[in-house]
Chains A and B, each alone.
Chain A
Amino acid sequence: MSIFEYNGSAVVAMVGKNCFAIASDRRLGVQLQTIATDFQRISKIHDHLFIGLSGVATDVQTLYQRLVFRHKLYQLREERDMKPETFACLVSAILYEKRFGPYLCQPVIAGLGEDDKPFICTMDSIGAKELAKDFVVSGTASESLYGACEAMYKPDLEADELFETISQALLSSVDRDCLSGWGGHVYVVTPNEIKERILKGRMD
Chain B
Amino acid sequence: MLLRTAWRRAAAAVRAAPGPRSEAPARGLRLRVVDNAPQSAVPSDTATAPEVESVLRPLYMDVQATTPLDPRVLDAMLPYLVNYYGNPHSRTHAYGWESEAAMERARQQVASLIGADPREIIFTSGATESNNIAVKGVARFYRSRKKHLITTQTEHKCVLDSCRSLEAEGFQVTYLPVKKSGIIDLKELEAAIQPDTSLVSVMTVNNEIGVKQPIAEIGQICSSRRVYFHTDAAQAVGKIPLDVNDMKIDLMSISGHKIYGPKGVGAIYIRRRPRVRVEALQSGGGQERGMRSGTVPTPLVVGLGAACEVAQQEMEYDHKWISKLAERLTKKIMNSLPDVVMNGDPEHHYPGCINLSFAYVEGESLLMALKDVALSSGSACTSASLEPSYVLRAIGTDEDLAHSSIRFGIGRFTTEEEVDYTVEKCIHHVKRLREMSPLWEMVQDGIDLKSIKWTQH
Q: Do A and B truly interact?
A: no
Binding site for B on A (CB under 8 A): none
Binding site for A on B (CB under 8 A): none
